Structures are given as C-alpha cells and as structure tokens.
Chains A and B, each alone.
Chain A
C-alpha cells in the first residue's frame, strides 16, 4: 500500500497503522503540522499534559499497565529537552516508548535557530535508538522501524526527530508490513543450557527464583508459565521492585521483595541458597549489596534477553540468552519430560528454614494511636482496595519502599514505579497514563509530598480529562529517604531534607476542581480512604504521617545481605566510610 501524503499526515497514519489509540503530548512551533493532522481525525486521542516530562511518564504508565508501547509527541528545543528525564527513566526500566519530536527545518539545522537543539545528540545515550528523518520518503519506514525497535528484544524508548519541512513535504507512505529490519534479537534459549539448569533444579537443596522486570516485559504468558514452574517445583520465589506481580503476593512460595529494603527472608534466602535462578533481573546494586559477599555459595543461572546483562556484575554459571516466556516454556517442557524431579527432602528443610526467617517478622513496626504510621496507612490502603481492579504507581522515597513492602500484587502490569532511575515526579503523571488506558480501574499513586510537587502541574491534566486518579500522599513533611540517610550516615545533620512551605493540599485540589481529603488521625483513616475510593474524580489525599519513621529492613550500601538492619536499634555508624561513598 503506497500512497502520497504529507509527512505530518504520515505520522498520524503510521500511528494508526501501529494500533496506537493514545498520544501524550504538548504542541509547539516545530510540530504544528502534525497537530493539524491530529485535529483533523478522531481515531487517536491526544492527551494534553502540562509539562513534557509528564507526557513521557504518562506514556510509561500507559505502556507498563498495557504492555503496549507508549507514544509521546513534543516540540523541538525545550519540548525535547523536557522529555530527557522520562527517556532516561524508560531506558533504565526497559519500557517501550516511541517519542516524536519536532525539529527546525532541515535547511536551518546547525544555525542555532529558534528552539533548535541537537535532539538526537542529547538523547542518544538515553534512548535505545533514535533517528533524525531528513526526507519525507523515509518517514513512514522510520516510524514503523521505531515501533519494532522499541518493542523487540529488551524494550526501551526510541525517539524520532522530524524537521518541520519534512512534515510539510509530501512523500510515499508505506504500511508497517513493508518493514525489513535487520534487528531480530534471539528469543529462544539454548537447549543445552536449559537442560543444565533443569538438572540443577532437580538436585538443588536450597534453590530460589530471583525474578525481575524482564518477566513482566515478556508478557502475561511469561508470568503464567513462571507461576506454573514455581508451584510445580515448590521452589521459593522473590522478586525485585520491578518484578512485583509476576508471581502473586498471596502465592504460597512467595518470599516478598528482595534488595536494599527487601524482606529479611528473601535476602537471607538469596544469601544462603545453593541454586539461584535469575529470571529477567539484572543484579542491580540495590539487589546485590556488597558484590564479594553476594550469595557466596550458589550456582547461578541467569535468563535474560539482553546478552550484555549476563556477566555484567555477577559471574553466572548457567547463562541463558532468550526471552523469559520462551525459555520458561522450554524449561517446563524439559523438566516435565525428565520426570518432574526435585529434591523433595532438602526442599522441605529449606522451606522450614525460610519459615524460621519469616518468624523474624521483619516488617514489624511500632504502631501509634495518635499519629498515622506510614506503614499502617499502606496496610489500611491494601486492606480497603485489595478487591478492586487496582493499579498502583509510586513516586520515589520511603513511601515507595513501604508501598512495595505492604501492598500485595497478584498480577503483572499492576505496579508502576521508577526503579532504575528513581525519578521523583514519576508517579503522578504515570498514574494519568494508567488511568487513560484503564478508565474504569482504581488507579492510586502512592506519593511522598516532596516527589509529588515535582510534577503537580499535571493536576490540570487529571482535571481536564476527568481522570479519577487518587493521589495518596504520605506526607511526612520530609524528604524522608534523604533524611533517613542523613540520620544513618551524616550524623543526623538534616541538610535541606525537610519540606518547607508546603501547599494546603486540600485547597490545591479544590483549586483544580478536584477533591481534597486531609487525614491525620489513625481513627479516621479507614473512612477517609473509603471516601477517596468512592469519589468519582481525581483526589488528593493528604495523609499526615509520622515524620521520623525510618524504612526497614535496610541493607546499608556496601553491606552484604546477611548484614541487614532490621529496626531502629543502634543504627548509628553502621555504614562505614567506604559504604558511604556509594549511593
């Protein structure tokens, strides 16, 4: 199907042909022709954000909750530079995005024209790939290739920079089928290595599954296969922050999240296991703690679609390059064909050991009748929203870690948080993107007051599109996570880690035509949360919580998994000078 049309029309046509229903964007001079085409059609909804960073995070929320790529349209110069944080966020968390930026006309490139920026230069290190399209004839093919690259292999953000004259000029449009990409990452794992892993599973005495965002990126089938494998073998499973939901929190083999603020039983299992099966995780420093003390006695297998993830940080014994879903399918096949063996006796002992660790009750905290403890607030939120069709996003800080600890996820794509980059300001726009994709769902952003302020302009977007997103702010009037580190590492010198001059969040909500709820008494909390859930519209829930609560358990930087801190007692001086240079 070849047709003549303008570049601007091609953009809209290509998006339609790629099945795009929603675009998050913000107009400006260099994208006006495309905005004109958007005006002239009704198939693609355009969501006008209030800041381009918001557009990218919203697209991330859309992508993570649907498994489809998120699409962004912004103008040149400041529009593009405002998108950089979101691109980097999506790159680190492997989120598929297609970002379209306007550019000054080709004949003005390099002249420091108005709103000119070297967008492909700036975004080269923060995209999976990017293109500057200089000819209208090449535009359609580039857009189709962009969708392919964003979603194939390890997903990631891509960017297409489109000069204004390319949008105006006419050229030949070709549909997606014409795409002849040479980029086809391998999805099937090596059968020999898979068999080696199965043999290890059959005899292991203390095996553990260490899963990550790769399971979720691989699609719903991967989570399904994972559940089958875990439940058939009875091997305990933990997950990174990114992988929550790939195995149900109510599942009997679930250990909880691992890592710096992970559960005691999960980290101890990782430390003491004799077989570690990494599925779609990447041995991030938040997970490993001190490398030379990381799970010292285990055989390590690593399943990842990206060969560069393997042996990057931790040397593994059984590397399997492939898509999680495909590899899990083969593991199950091989394991079944060899007689579904596991070392039952040893596994029972291992489970008993884990049950002992569980008794430590590492998430215990001292509740209060006077002030709302953040953990309590999340427990109540969990209790009162559990049965709902629920999606949760978060900002970054203590509240994020508590949310990961206290909320339970039964399914993949229900939990959207900035893991790799740790971007404050992610959660609110992400919740908007999620709600766009799931209009009838209950979408909650668990926020800290400081993070939330970073993209609070998106209240305008939520109000305009009547998106009933619930902003559940655990307001400790502190940059809580920073304060916690200053307490542990910097002699309780709280340099600039409190939130001064906070707005009245209730009035703020009302100023945008939304609902504000203030709650400071634990006795009122349940009713207030129910009021939030039942309100049909955006809500800012200002939950005034204990100001000096610390988030535990915690593996201090530069420490090993079995050197975890469990509670307030004697946290002074636990991080030595070598650890304190780490972040």
Chain B
C-alpha cells in the first residue's frame, strides 16, 4: 500500500503525536485484514507533530474513542479515491469500555464482568468520571 492512496476507506488525521498506537489498539485495528498504516510524528502546521491512521477499508468508526482521545481529530471518509466526508468527533457523553476505572475501592475492581462506564461531567475541561464510584478518569494517557 502506498501511503496516501486510499481508495475506499478512512483517514484519521490530526491525532495528537504519540497517541496513534493507543488509538490503533483501542479501535482494535489489529483485527482488520485490510491494509492499515500508522504514521507517527508527521509534520503538522496546526499542532507541530501529529499521528495519522489510514485504513483501506470502510470501517465502522467508534467516535467515542476518537472524541475521548482528542475532539480535534479529523475523520476523512474516502470513496473511489475522493474524500466524500470530513468529520470531527465530539466529546462523547459516555464512554463504555474505552477507559478503565483504576479505583481499587470501585465495584469494577472486584466484579470483572461489569462494563467500565464513564460519564462526561465537565465538557469544558474534558473530565470523565466513573459512573459507579465517581473517580476521575486518569488523564496521564493524554
């Protein structure tokens, strides 16, 4: 696959530099059979450096995960070699099994089958809290 020649697929652009791999694993792109490219530290006028993910297949995009990583990410849908749509993910209201509660006192720490659910409690600062214990999501990944 020659980078930049996606025929039918998705280009996820303006990923904060260093977080492309995290997005790759959170979106479970490793499970795809098609061509997938992760470009790290591409130059970007907007934010200095950025990561880019290119997927040569029409995939269902989880905007929750993208929005959580950074709402400034852009999603470009490519059809027949042309960009047909460009979107920004919004900061999602809830995140289900995207991030995990690390509070050892939380019920999710002892009952493994419970989904880890986080709710956006402060849109301005992008603060998420666990719905079970109200612990604030760890922002270290950002």
Partners in one complex: no
Point out residues on A near B: beta carbons under 8 Å: none
